[in-house]
Each structure stands twice: as C-alpha cells, then as structure tokens.
C-alpha cells in the first residue's frame, strides 16, 4: 500500500541524534522491507485471502493515521490497528475490546451476520415475515389431518397427547444476504462483510434474490459477448466499406 509512505520514519528519527549509525542501519533495513513488500504484494494480488487483507488494510473504517498500514507495521509502531491510538501494556493489535468488536462486526462473517440479524430484528426486509412465523402448521402424526387435531385439542394443550402430536411444521427461517453478491469471494474475513452491505431475508426471499443476482450476472456476461461482436461487425464494415 503506497499511501503510508515511510511509516517507520519516527522509529528511525528517535535514534538520529544519539546514534546516527544505528539510525542509518534501521533506515536501510526498513527501505529493504518496503521493497520486499511491494514485490510480495504484486505477486500475491490474485490470491483471494491476500486481496481481502490488502482491502482491509485500506479500509475506510480505520483511522487515517493507520489506514494502509499492515497489522505487523501497527504492531511495530505500538498503535491500535483500527483507531491508531497507542497500545497499552501487553496489547498486540487492539487498544480495547470495543475497538476489536467494532472491527470484527464489520469484517468477520460470524460477527457481522449475527449483528445484522439483531439490527434487522430477525425480520425479512422484503416480505416482513419474522423468524419463527408459522408457514405451515403441520399435521397430526396419528390421523394425518391438519393441525390442530381435534383429539389433541380436546385433551388440552398441557395434557399428554400421544399418539396425537404435531409434525411437519414449517416456520420462517432467517438468513443474511450480501447486497453485492460475493461471487467467489469467500466467507473469510474481509470488507465484503461491512454491515451496511448486509440485510436480513427469509429463506424464500433469499433464494429469489440469489437467482435474480445470478440472472443479472448472466445477462451482463451476454451483453459483454454481443457487445464485442457488434464492435467486430462495425470494424469489418470500416474495412470493407
């Protein structure tokens, strides 16, 4: 990441007066490390994990003073990876539990999705159905007729109703949708799990939305294909005409 040039400068300057040789050695060392990192980033850019990491290093949720720095660089500077405040005591990455939580509820799938379920109150944002709403009340195991079974009802809700008991109940299940489809980017930590890009959908609406997104991608791919063909034809006309 080029946007934090010479992040190590303060570490070098603190030795400049009392030990100039050491300062120069340190400077060389950091410059070599910077070059090595540039090469490494250029080489690994196609690996999804590295790409997600590089994206997180540049994430807008990080304070400007540390944005662009890697975890190792923040550790060397003894500052928090997210807010850039100095790290106290034996802390290695986060200044506080709150900072750590604020980060992971926007970058780790398990944290982000459970936070979004709570934010959207377990309610589908499309159809408004709530988690656990009954879709199909099921039927009686004994007689096969729709629940509630009259026999079981006669016995009262607290009585032992065997062999009349309810099976086949179906209730609304709640899932979390990425508004911008993941397409190949996995569920490992990354900026794709920012909470403002997530929403709660019921299973049925989620299936519909996933199909719609896939159809949209197919259509875009087709447009690209025919678009190229159209320009080929135009060029042919230029050559012939």
Give residues in contact with Zn ion (CB under 5 A).
Answer: 59, 80, 82-83, 95, 99, 124, 126-127, 140, 142-143, 149, 151, 164, 191, 202, 205
Structure tokens at 84: 């850039």
* Closer CB to Zn ion, 33 or 135, in the complex: 135
CB of 28 to Zn ion, least distance (A): 31
Cβ-based neighbour number of residue 176 at 10 Å = 19
CB of 161 to Zn ion, least distance (A): 8
CB of 227 to Zn ion, least distance (A): 33
* Closer CB to Zn ion, 33 or 108, in the complex: 108
* Closer CB to Zn ion, 135 or 191, in the complex: 191
* Closer CB to Zn ion, 34 or 148, in the complex: 148
CB of 212 to Zn ion, least distance (A): 13
CB of 51 to Zn ion, least distance (A): 13
CB of 19 to Zn ion, least distance (A): 32
* Closer CB to Zn ion, 26 or 80, in the complex: 80
Burial class (CB in 10 A: 0-12, 13-18, 19+), 84: middle
Can you tell me which residue has the tokens 């005591």? 89
State how far the alpha carbon of 227 is from the alpha carbons of 18, 79, 220, 224, 241, in Å.
66, 50, 10, 5, 21
* Closer CB to Zn ion, 60 or 237, in the complex: 60
């Amino acid at each position: 990441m080029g946007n934090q040039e010479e992040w190590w400068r303060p570490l070098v300057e603190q030795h400049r007066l009392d030990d100039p040789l050491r300062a120069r050695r340190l400077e060389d060392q950091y410059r070599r490390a910077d070059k090595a990192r540039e090469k490494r980033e250029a080489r690994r850019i196609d690996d999804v994990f590295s790409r997600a990491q590089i994206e997180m290093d540049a994430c807008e949720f990080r304070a400007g003073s540390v944005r662009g720095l890697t975890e190792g660089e923040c550790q060397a500077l003894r500052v928090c990876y997210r807010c850039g405040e100095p790290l106290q005591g034996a802390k290695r990455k986060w200044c506080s539990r709150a900072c750590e939580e604020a980060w992971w509820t926007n970058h780790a799938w398990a944290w982000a999705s459970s936070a979004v379920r709570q934010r959207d109150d377990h309610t589908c944002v499309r159809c408004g159905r709530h988690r656990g709403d009954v879709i199909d009340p099921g039927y009686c195991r004994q007689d096969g007729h729709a629940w509630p079974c009259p026999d079981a009802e006669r016995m009262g809700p607290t009585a032992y109703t065997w062999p009349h008991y309810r099976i086949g109940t179906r209730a609304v299940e709640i899932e979390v949708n990425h508004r911008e489809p993941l397409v190949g980017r996995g569920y490992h930590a990354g900026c794709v799990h920012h909470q403002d890009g997530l929403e709660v959908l019921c299973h049925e609406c989620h299936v519909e939305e996933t199909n719609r997104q896939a159809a949209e991608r197919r259509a875009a791919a087709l447009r690209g294909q025919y678009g190229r063909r159209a320009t080929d034809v135009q060029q042919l006309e230029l050559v012939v005409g």
